[in-house]
Structure 1
């Protein structure tokens, strides 16, 4: 997720407003004439990052008057959406998460990381091939996970939020353990993943007078995005207490199987990056490798693995 604005020169600037519709960006230019005449002087840029939620829209569109916000068409659409959700049982509880699992607010090796949950718990317990005697070594791309899990009921809706994809599991059999140890580093380019320059975190909270709006609505600040860009620190429409952020690599893995130089493993991964992984492995070993186009139950995919895990390992009555 990136909130950022860049000023290229006195007359040019750009903005990036979030990802997956978490942020609504507003950008305007002051000092531009609508007439075809030359005008001296600089222009002034203004930007605002709006949290994408109902209170934000009510505040800005109808001056906070909730009764003026809903329309007959909107109510009809909401009713239709609810009917469809009921029809497809999207809200039915599949299991209960005992804690929160975060994408970027927890380090990769933390039990609070959703990537840690995926690689250390979900994959080894759900993606299994009983016909293979080699230990499995799982690698997934972190971009396959798109949302967090919060403590409480876990529904089919949550499954689609976390992973809207249907990536299949491929496997490369009989890979020497010493070669498998090098694959993740090769995939990640032996370097840290890019940092989000637009998100900055500080031990000192942003004072309310640095924010232009929503102050009255945010007496008790919640954790959220705190943005610093080329125009300063006053771009966030709703003031938040900054939360920690950790860099997550493009690819993450399960624990490597133990063994010696003669140990063979099966590398299990998503078909999404099949060519990249096989190329990396070929570079390491000096030979070409062929993937098996299934591993275990073919109905288990990048999304349904969460469904299966929740149903089997999260007691649905513990909420």
Structure 2
């Protein structure tokens, strides 16, 4: 794995993000793209962020800019006689108001997505949670991308015939345009079980036993095997696919692309096989190159050996015009293509038609998912637990008390100080689930549910279900399941030892940050390179450490620390309960009895109720019921009731913002400035 020299790109003039309200990108030191014989651009877990990040300069480019960028890189590949392939590994929906607030949902998403020429594409789990979104793949995404869409282990009920069939073809073989590289490609999803009834995900361990798969990997007339999918690159599923394919092809290069974990990561299987994962939310454009591939076109006629010196290189590109202009060799004038501009205009038009700049209130401070410890005044979960939930949720009867439980994985993004818009509400909480409740649960059991949910043990393990980890945000799942070295729970003062006491040394799980424009100079022109006697200060952002080292990010950032969070948080309604000792997120090794008996009560309200309603977001109902069963209380889904006729938590949150952070002086579009 070669390392490329750093360059410092100076300030340039006239570059504006395609979406008018997005901040200008900021000058920073850059690493060059490591071009090779075969090159890739990779996106994953876009979650509807087609307009880019409108509060974060590092990720402010939109889908139209990406279209222009890809066009310039394709032109370079053609000029050099190399090849460029675009890959997307799913979860294109849910997580942004362009998708989540449109009626029908996806009204704009499918039209925007198909404007990019993606060579290999597949489904993620979010496309499958609901029958209508899976049908959206069937009716829109699959035909839009034709034979570029692969579904190696995913079937659907054809909504017109009622019959079960593969969502798309299982695999494909193709030859690259310029190098003539023969590629055998497969497109997978992880062993997901939370899909609706109209789709079927076959376990990878069963798929590799299928006759079609066995026959496909027998093909020796291939120069590269490419496995892409909505799968963590360090997962058991990919480990199995690697070993199965390697058994059939001992020396053929194998390239993996992954997703689902919302992180930047790069994994080396062996000297001829690697995997790339490229972040989330259009923050990252993954670049991958391979050199040294021996093809039939380049085979030495004097030998039958296919031995080669392979070189794999990766780069995680910050999604902003500063990076794009430099890596494409363009400037503010020459970079935009007409196609890209048209798509940017379409995104802007969609945003305007959905009134996404409508302001519900002004957040008085930043509230972070992971960049502050929990509890903390700037932890979004402390805000939910101490303010929003107890002030929003009402008991079904004034005489009744309640405990409200939410999983942290239901909160998807930070709240930044300033305007809380229609856009913001869906960035933070894109899901449609409401609040359910169980009536009159004995308090002796109810008060212990949160401990069971947070410490896993008998509850999550009893499900024998990887989806149990969905209680957490995806990047925390990635660390907990496959990267245990990223956690350090040593009891110490985090201000003295910044990688301890529940803090995540995220490395490959870094999440990036917003740039406050008052302290940085905006980008001016990305065509002329001028020497800078005083380089600008490093801005905080991704500082990725992966199997190849720490030189993967294209932009050199100051690092950010991130903190562990519990699976779930809890708020009380109508009373002030005593706290339960050990109800945090740390594991307990004292054995099963400790999950209950170790939960000693500390001083609190002496008039604790005999019974309470347990209220929870619908997504976690299965685990709440399991916890109660473990505690000797038998409840089923039939015993649950919907709070306020199923009103979504997203709307509950928005109502609270309007009532507590609301602004009075707004224009007809609901737009107004917030105090700086």
Q: Tell me, yes or no, whether TM beats 0.5.
A: yes
Alpha-carbon separation, structure 2, partners of 1:230 and 1:76: 39
Equivalent of residue 311 in structure 1, options 651, 658, 662: 658
1:79 equivalenced with 2:396 (yes/no): no
SS in structure 2 opposite 1:119? helix
Question: Is contact 1:257–1:265 with CA below 8 Å preserved after alignment?
Answer: no
Aligned pair in 2 of structure 1 residues 169, 74: CA closer, same or farther (>3 Å)? same
1:294 equivalenced with 2:642 (yes/no): yes
Alpha-carbon separation, structure 1, partners of 2:429 and 2:639: 23
> Could you tell me which residue of structure 1 aligns to residue 327 of structure 2?
60
How far the C-alpha of 1:268 sits from its partner, in A, is 1.1
How far the C-alpha of 1:71 sits from its partner, in A, is 2.5
> Could you tell me which residue of structure 1 aligns to residue 307 of structure 2?
40
How far the C-alpha of 1:299 sits from its partner, in A, is 6.0
Equivalent of residue 22 in structure 1, options 283, 304, 312: 283
Question: Is contact 1:144–1:302 with CA below 8 Å preserved after alignment?
Answer: no
Alpha-carbon separation, structure 1, partners of 2:659 and 2:420: 12
Alpha-carbon separation, structure 2, partners of 1:153 and 1:291: 40
Alpha-carbon separation, structure 2, partners of 1:218 and 1:249: 40
> Could you tell me which residue of structure 1 aligns to residue 292 of structure 2?
31
Aligned pair in 2 of structure 1 residues 130, 266: CA closer, same or farther (>3 Å)? closer
- Correspondences of 1:170-189 after superposition (within 5 Å): 170-189=436-455
Give deviations 1:236-269, integer Å, cap 9, x for gaps: 1111111111112332222573456753222111
1:220 equivalenced with 2:537 (yes/no): yes
Larger mean Cα displacement after TM superposition, 123-132 or 305-314: 123-132
Number of residues of Structure 1 aligned to a counterpart in Structure 2? 305
How far the C-alpha of 1:185 sits from its partner, in A, is 2.5
Alpha-carbon separation, structure 1, partners of 2:379 and 2:535: 28
- Correspondences of 1:71-110 after superposition (within 5 Å): 71-110=337-376
1:9 equivalenced with 2:270 (yes/no): yes
Alpha-carbon separation, structure 2, partners of 1:148 and 1:46: 32
Question: Is contact 1:146–1:162 with CA below 8 Å preserved after alignment?
Answer: yes
Aligned pair in 2 of structure 1 residues 178, 55: CA closer, same or farther (>3 Å)? farther
Aligned pair in 2 of structure 1 residues 74, 43: CA closer, same or farther (>3 Å)? closer
Question: Is contact 1:199–1:225 with CA below 8 Å preserved after alignment?
Answer: no
How far the C-alpha of 1:272 sits from its partner, in A, is 1.3
Question: Is contact 2:433–2:648 with CA below 8 Å preserved after alignment?
Answer: yes
Aligned pair in 2 of structure 1 residues 170, 218: CA closer, same or farther (>3 Å)? farther
SS in structure 2 opposite 1:303? helix
Larger mean Cα displacement after TM superposition, 90-99 or 45-54: 45-54
- Correspondences of 1:79-158 after superposition (within 5 Å): 79-158=345-424
Alpha-carbon separation, structure 1, partners of 2:622 and 2:655: 27
Question: Unpaired runs of 5+ in structure 1?
Answer: 202-213
Q: Which has the higher contact order (CA 8 A, sep 6+)?
A: 1
Question: Unpaired runs of 5+ in structure 2?
Answer: 1-261, 458-475, 487-504, 509-528, 579-604, 665-673
How far the C-alpha of 1:12 sits from its partner, in A, is 1.4
Question: Is contact 2:395–2:401 with CA below 8 Å preserved after alignment?
Answer: no
> Could you tell me which residue of structure 2 aligns to residue 268 of structure 1?
615
Larger mean Cα displacement after TM superposition, 227-236 or 283-292: 283-292
Larger mean Cα displacement after TM superposition, 18-27 or 304-313: 18-27
TM-score w.r.t. length of structure 1 = 0.85
Larger mean Cα displacement after TM superposition, 252-261 or 4-13: 252-261
How far the C-alpha of 1:78 sits from its partner, in A, is 2.8
Alpha-carbon separation, structure 2, partners of 1:257 and 1:282: 22
> Could you tell me which residue of structure 1 aligns to residue 577 of structure 2?
257
Give deviations 1:13-43, integer Å, cap 9, x for gaps: 1122212332221222222212355243542
Aligned pair in 2 of structure 1 residues 242, 285: CA closer, same or farther (>3 Å)? same
> Could you tell me which residue of structure 2 aligns to residue 243 of structure 1?
560
Equivalent of residue 506 in structure 2, options 182, 199, 206: 199
Alpha-carbon separation, structure 2, partners of 1:218 and 1:293: 60
TM-score w.r.t. length of structure 2 = 0.42
SS in structure 1 opposite 2:386? helix
User: Please, what is the CA RMSD of the aligned residues?
Assistant: 2.8
Larger mean Cα displacement after TM superposition, 236-245 or 83-92: 83-92
